[in-house]
Amino acid sequence: MAALDSYLTTYISDIGNVLQKVIAPTIVTVLPSKCIWYDMLKKNSGVQKLANNTFYITARDGRHSGIAAVSEGAKLVSGKPKYSQMTISAKYVFGTFEVTDQLLEAAKDSKGAIVNYMTEQTSALRSDFARELNRMFWGYGGEVVAKVAAGDATTGVTLTLAPAFTAVNSDIAATKYLAAGMKLDINGDACQIVSVDSDTQVTLVAGITRVAGESVKKTDGDGTVVDEPMGADGIISNYAEGLVTTFQNVARLTNTWASCGYFDATSEALGLPKMELAYVTAKEFGDPSVIFMNKTLWKKYGNLLEGYKRTANLHEILSGGWKGLDFMGGDASVVLDYDTPDGKVVFVDPSTITIGEMTPISWIDRGDGVLRRVDYASWQGVLRWYGNLIGKGNMRANAKLTAKTG
């Protein structure tokens, strides 16, 4: 028995080394191609990490009061710039897979077989981990991934869904962020997905009573609603939008610098004049050099360029392979991101946002190896990231248009 335990310990260690030294680094390298926010933003720029897993941000929100033209011999004005102190907590994102003892036993004479299995498992994990981070970085910390559709049956295992937000151009399918086996909370009722059947339908393990319009949220293994990081939709927002009225402990209603510089919610077709107004308004306070859209509006923007006899050529804007179309003669780039909230055009000054990172993407290892024994017949590998998306400057350097159609 001792010999078998010794063998398994060595074997698990070998697999752990593969995860730690080979697979984990490839997860980090794949992130830029799946999560533009991780690629575009600096880490821990302008923020201070505190011991209680909180980030402390000092943002300048007013001009210097000590500058004045005075008469010869007159008393000088002594002053200082105005700053606001903000805080935001770290959030915890995990990706987990499991390997059974039976699988290890079946493959113990061929370490290559188990390594191949691990590579396949973690290949899917690394891609979806990046995609899930991108979804979260586009959110507002509300955890909503879908809504119960109008006309859905009030009970039963078949659940019809609508997108989390208004389907302005139907760019984001209602079930895009759902998967078989996922545990959900619908207005306090717990359920689990058996299968994703279409863009609008899932089948549940057991039926629950629900009402049209109720929010669908993911839960942890105990059924508690997840606690997701803040995202760009909440950081680049206005008090009038109603998504995040208190921004990193600062009230947006009484602190105009904490809201985006231009906000428009008129339901209308996308047009260049409104885009140009948003850009020049935000430009006064910074450099809104990246403009995000989902597929319908991105195609519409390309058509607008052709209509105005302008070139619609793609060019690379980031090393991760992200490309954009020129805007305002090349001073900014319009980028397609399939997680951009439907119908929204988001103007971003990257210098005003940072990724606060407590723990970089890594495997949990407390000295006993990457694979942890979770019960008597299986081991678990857990990938983690601890941090948050943080606004750190004058948010008026950003802008947002909503409810725009193609």
Q: Does residue 386 sit within a domain? A: yes
Domain shared by 301 and 199, yes or no? no
Which position has the higher pLDDT, 22 or 52? 52
Number of domains in the chain: 3
238 and 332 assigned to the same domain: yes
122 and 20 in a common domain: yes
Q: Kindly state whether residues 245 and 347 are assigned to the same domain.
A: yes
Cα–Cα–Cα angle for 326, 331, 333, rounded to 5 degrees: 40
d(CA 6, CA 276): 67
pLDDT digits (tens, 9 = 90+) for 338-385: 999 999 999 999 999 999 999 888 878 766 666 666 665 677 778 888
The last residue of one of the domains, among 168, 183, 218, is 218
- 297 and 260 within one domain: yes
Name the 3-class secondary structure at 357: strand
From the number of C-beta atoms within 10 Å of its C-beta (0-12, 13-18, 19+), residue 315 rates as exposed
Q: Is residue 33 part of a domain?
A: yes
Please state whether beta strands 332-336 and 290-293 pair in parallel, antiparallel, or not at all (unpaired): parallel
Question: Do 286 and 256 belong together in one domain?
Answer: yes
Q: Which residue has the higher pLDDT, 39 or 245?
A: 245
Q: At residue 320, does pLDDT exceed 70?
A: no
Q: Is 65 contained in some domain?
A: no
Per the domain annotation, does 62 fall within a domain? no
* pTM of the predicted protein model: 0.85
Task: Tell me which residue range forms the domain holding 169.
Answer: 144-218
Q: Tell me which of 1-5, 85-89, 233-237, 337-341 is least confident.
A: 1-5
* pLDDT, tens digit (0-9, with 9 covering 90-100), for 235-294: 999 998 999 999 999 999 998 899 999 999 999 999 999 999 999 999 999 999 999 999
* CA gap 53, 55 in Å, rounded: 7
Structure token digits, residue 365: 């290892």
Q: 135 with 93, same domain?
A: yes
Structural domain ending residue among the three candidates 173, 190, 218: 218
Looking at the fold, whether 247 and 202 belong to one and the same domain comes out as no
Per-residue burial over 297-309, b = 16 or more CB atoms within 10 Å of its CB, e = otherwise: bbebbbebbeeee
Q: Can you give the pLDDT at residue 15?
A: 58
Q: Are residues 16 and 126 in the same domain?
A: yes
Dihedral sign computed on CA atoms, order 5, 7, 13, 15: negative
Percent of the chain with pLDDT over 70: 78
Residue 404 resides in a domain? no
Asked whether residue 107 carries a pLDDT value surpassing 90, the answer given is no
On whether both 11 and 130 belong to a single domain, the answer is yes
Question: For position 161, which CATH number holds?
Answer: 2.40.30
Asked if residue 312 belongs to a domain, the reply is yes
Same domain, 211 and 292: no
Question: Which residues contact residue 117 at a Cβ distance below 8 angstroms, ignoring those fewer than 6 apart?
Answer: 99, 103, 107
Q: Are 32 and 118 members of one domain?
A: yes
